Structure 1
Amino acid sequence: MPDQLRCYSPVDGNQYVQRSYCSDEELSASLELAKEAQRKWQAVPLAERLKLLQGVLTYFNEHRDLIAEQISWQMGRPSRYADGEINGLLERGRYMLSIAEQSLADIQPPSPPDTEHYIELTPVGLVLTVAPWNYPLLTTVNSVIPALAAGNAVILKPSAQTPLTGEHFQRACAQAGLPGGLLQCVHLRHEQTNKLLSEAKVDFACFTGSVAAGAEFEKSAAGQFIGLGLELGGKDPAYVREDLNAEQLKEAAEALADGAFFNSGQSCCGIERIYVANSQFEAFCEHFAAEVKSLKLGVPTLSETTLGPVVKTSAANWVRKQINEAVAQGAKAWISSNDYPLDDGEGVYLAPQVLTNVNHNMSVMSEESFGPVVGIMPVDSDQQAIELMNDSDYGLTASIWTRDVAAAKLIGKQIETGTVFLNRCDYLDPALAWTGVKQTGRGISLSTLGYAQLTQAKSFHLRLG
């Protein structure tokens, strides 16, 4: 069993980070330290906690250039975009702090005579956050900032692919003056993480990752009555209606291409399948393919690169397999990999691909790709589009493109998904609940509701006189 965590950069294949895994003894000590820090932190007035947490966000703003560069090397996102994740972290963190007082205030229903009663929202205690590599800052801030604001301690396990991001959270808390041990970044093996759940060493756990890993997470926590927040896979659809004019159709194609191929398609809420009204299909595909062909596949540290490598060779080969199988079954490929010299058919640099003549019997339209490929199908009606969008094991977001707001709302009510977008995609509004249905997971982050799963309701029924 390896005693060292090794992060190999997809940029050049070389080792970029090496860390020692936390020993079982060190982990036990970290848990004790976190619990002691949490007891003290819970007693700190909320206003003071929020002021200190603003300092945590300040750290990321002050160190954005270094952090952005490290993200590019760790997971391959083009450096021209890496700074954007820090902006997103700041937006979400500031919003969650701004609503903390109202979200954590006592709930006071009308009291009967001679009675005082209210519900106090107390911290759950120790929160475990297991973060992924694709958006290591954004996924982490969703749980860490509200957990700390609510009075909890946090054990943060970053992905082995992006270990430095977790270490930055720990430094940020130290620089801001939070109690030592309140947030600790720990590099754990899978079996250690599972043991935290199976032995109820934590009180709540937030996990972002694959469906298979999420199922393992649930099994480890079975019978321990630990609260879980699971954000898992996605196969997010978009529907382009027939009422768009020519300019709007072109704008939809450009926006959806960005939503599908940003971060090399490695986003749980990225667009992976598109349904277009028959009358708009041909024109949309032409616009969409032209936009995708304008992407520049290259080394992510170069300023002109707009499409970087996928994170690992196995991930690239999975997408290649989906594309090859679809083409063998009759799909039309709009883009030639020969136009992308870095794509040698074997490595992490993978040409983007747009497929038509596809159907739901093909893996590329039914299984999560998590890479730079999208399938496009024509539809005859809203009802057919709804049926196809719902024909999935996943349900994170769906995107509708139309001038008819009333129609979009009606369609949105019938789509099995956690978020419905109109004329946009691939964005998290921190004021709204981030959640999914079906195999996309369970639980809620962001918004006022995001605080609910990180607190425990405690009722007071006081008979007076």
Structure 2
Amino acid sequence: MNDLLHIISEPALNVPASPYQARHFIDGALVDSADGRKSDRRSPSHGVVVSQAALGGVAETEAAIAAARRAFDDGRWSRLSGKDRARVLNKVADLIERNEERLALLETLESGKPISQARGECGGAADLWRYAASLARTSHGDSHNTLGPDILGVVVKEPIGVVSIITPWNFPFWILSQKLPFALAAGCTCVVKPSEMTPSTTAMLAELLAEAGLPAGVCNIVLGHGDPVGSLMTSHPEVDMVSFTGSTAVGKRITATAGQSLKKVALELGGKNPQVIFPDADLETAADAVTFGIYFNVGQCCNSSSRIIVHEDIADAFVDRVVALSRKVAFGNPLHPDTQVGAIVTPEHREKIDGYVRAAQEAGAELCLGGAGLSVPGLGDQFYQPTVIRRVTPDMAIAREEVFGPVLSVLTFGSFDEAIALANDATYGLSAGVWSENVHTCLEFCRRVQAGTVWTNTWMDGFPEMTFGGVKQSGQGREIGSYGFDEFLEVKSMVLRLGRTRVPWVRNT
């Protein structure tokens, strides 16, 4: 099988001679854990320790939350003008672009993703910071001048307070940048916990925040595990909101915990995203987009197009196209710029992916390509072959659950209504796609499919202006765009009586 794939084993960049040392960032200072504990991150693609991160506990988390609380309450950030907040955020964006290569290298080594994708993620995140900066200057409320000659009503938006931000391992810098700059633009203060598997780019951001002039305590970063760091961040009484990206199971636990103190919760969770291919679609373009959608970030992506629903008249020809393209995708060493698909994040996750494929085959699905681990010379076997599996039925786990790997499931349909039913037959509703040259088909699909984002004749095009989030068990709330910005704001109504016109309630007799 491997000789039929495009495998790149040689590197273009070298692994650094010593691991990056990631530290907490609390109240404006880089600090180690009080007990001196650290955790090692071994690169999934190269098998060597590439970072050592301070391992936080209750003490560090309490200190970070207290710093954020003080910084919010004394107004050092929350009461700054939008202009002044925007100036800092724009400076951060400049520094991100200046440090793109350094950020991308650490992200590649910790996550296993290709260096070209890490560069796009880290450098491209600067645009999110600049857009958030624009919102800081343009945010406004409403006024009501029609409530009577002696009444003026004003509705204002105010920062919600202290926000706990918890991010995942698959896009650590990008997802952080979908949250943090928007919270800061709103005037909030923050405590951030990255995944313990990919902590370094978040830790590196601390240096950029300080250099940009962000006041001490406004953004605090605690490195460590979900328990105790994440648990305390979601339950602490001094935290006003939790913004989390990760699995649906953890999201449900966070909702239950935060509900004890009625914190606001914003969740971006799992997806089982369909692309529906109609017979009149541009099949060449659609096949390329499907191939990109399933192998981007090794399929370890909440927006992965992990199931396609193809009209039965074109299913054979379309699958043949996707299989042919899959053989040309460059798998292998993430440190080579030509590599398109890198390593699986952990051996345990690779086995989980393989388990879904084996179970589908046992249930009667047909393997068209891949279906096993992949060894790359000099790098080991923490890779998985590009996999296409057809004759999948809606009841199979591979069609319903988030595989989170380079595995494409193929289902077929005969009518438009059947395509909609299959697309909506999932507990998730993050994103969906439709391929057709008929605008009426596309518009009806967009209106009827249950998803937070619908792409038409494309896949995974994103813009800071376009909000992102899911329905059903893909989450609640929104990120980026003006709607994502509003998540970090509270609305306050102010009623102003003009002059001494109020009629006394208690009458003098």
Tell me the TM-score range normalised by the shorter chain.
over 0.9
Does 1:428 find its partner at 2:486? no
Q: Decide whether the 8 Å contact of 1:200 with 1:221 is kept in 2.
A: no
1:435 maps to a residue whose letter is: G
1:414-453 matches, within 5 Å, as: 414-453=448-487
Secondary structure of 1:119's counterpart equals strand
- State, as a whole percentage, how many aligned pairs show the same letter: 29
Aligned mate of 1:210, from 247, 253, 275: 247
For 1:442 and 1:353, the matched residues in 2 are separated by: 31
Task: Output the amino acid matched with 1:207.
Answer: F
Q: Provide structure 2 residue ranges, at least 5 long, that are not aligned to the other structure.
A: 1-34, 500-509
Report whether the alignment pairs 1:154 with 2:190. Answer: yes
> Which of 96, 100, 111 is 2:132 aligned to?
96
Match of 2:222 in 1: 186
- Contact preservation (8 Å) 1:195, 1:220: no
In the alignment, what sits opposite 1:19? 53
Specify the alignment match of 1:37 in structure 2. 71
C-alpha offsets along residues 126-154 of structure 1, whole Å, 9 cap, x if unaligned?
11110111111111111100111111111
The structure 1 residue matched to 2:331, chosen from 294, 297, 300, is 297
Counterpart of 2:91 in structure 1 is 55
1:408 equivalenced with 2:462 (yes/no): no
Deviations 1:44-100 (Å, cap 9, x if unpaired)? Answer: 111111011101111110000111111110000011221110243122222232233
In structure 1, the residue matched to 2:20 is none
Secondary structure of the structure 2 residue equivalent to 1:258 = helix
CA separation in 2, counterparts of 1:182 and 1:463? Answer: 36
Q: Which residue type is aligned with residue 227 of structure 1?
A: K
In structure 1, distance between residues paired with 2:65 and 2:373: 52
Task: Give 1:254's aligned residue.
Answer: 288
CA–CA distance in structure 2, aligned partners of residues 208 and 445 of structure 1: 10
Q: Which amino acid aligns with 1:234?
A: G
Q: What is the letter of the counterpart of residue 221 of structure 2?
A: C
The CA distance in 2 between the partners of 1:202 and 1:48, in whole Å, is 25
Runs of 5+ consecutive residues of structure 1 not aligned to the other structure: none
8 A contact 1:107–1:118 mirrored in 2 = yes
Matched, 1:265 2:299: yes
Corresponding letter in the other structure for 1:406: H
Instruction: Compute the displacement of 1:338 (Å).
Output: 8.0
2:321 to 277, 287, 290: 287
SS at match of 1:457: strand
The residue aligned with 2:354 is 320
Q: Residue type of the partner of 1:184?
A: N
Q: Is residue 337–residue 343 contact of structure 1 (8 Å, CA) maintained in 2? A: no
Alignment-mate amino acid for residue 107 of structure 1:
D
CA distance in 2, matches of 1:2, 1:284: 56
Between 357-366 and 226-235, report the one with greater CA deviation. 357-366
Q: How many equivalent residue pairs?
A: 460
1:220–1:111 Cα change, 3 Å: same
Matched, 1:116 2:130: no
Give the 3 Å change call, closer, same or farther, for CA 341–348 of structure 1 in structure 2: closer
Aligned-partner Cα distance in 2 for 1:328–1:126: 50
Q: CA separation in 2, counterparts of 1:161 and 1:169?
A: 16
What is the 5 A alignment of 1:315-464?
315-336=349-370, 340-342=374-376, 347-464=381-498
> How does 1:222-241 map onto structure 2 within 5 Å?
222-241=259-278
- 1:144 paired residue among 169, 175, 180: 180
Identify, as 1 or 2, the structure richer in helix.
Answer: 1
- The question of whether the paired residues in 1 share the 8 Å contact of 2:369 and 2:387 is answered with yes
3-state SS of the aligned residue for 1:108?
A: strand
Report the 3-state secondary structure (helix = DSSP H, G, I; strand = E; otherwise coil) of the residue aligned with 1:156: strand
Q: Of the candidates 195, 200, 205, which is equivalent to residue 232 of structure 2?
A: 195
Q: Greater Rg, structure 1 or structure 2?
A: 2
Q: Match of 1:143, as an amino acid?
A: K
Shift of 1:2: 11
- The question of 1:132 aligning with 2:168 is answered yes
Report if aligned partners of 2:83, 2:136 keep a CA contact under 8 Å in 1.
Answer: no
**CA deviation profile, 1:225-280 (whole Å, cap 9, x unmatched):** 10011111110000011112xxx211110111101111100110110100111222
TM-score normalised by structure 1 residue count: 0.95
Residue identity in the other structure for 2:268: E
CA distance in 2, matches of 1:243, 1:413: 20
Aligned partner of residue 235 in structure 1, secondary structure: coil
| Mapped contact 1:236–1:269 kept (Cα < 8 A) | yes
Indicate the SS of the match to 1:230: strand
Please state how far the C-alpha of 1:221 moved relative to its aligned partner: 1.1
The Cα offsets for residues 280-325 of structure 1, whole Å up to 9 and x where unpaired, read as 2122111111111111221211233221111011111111111111
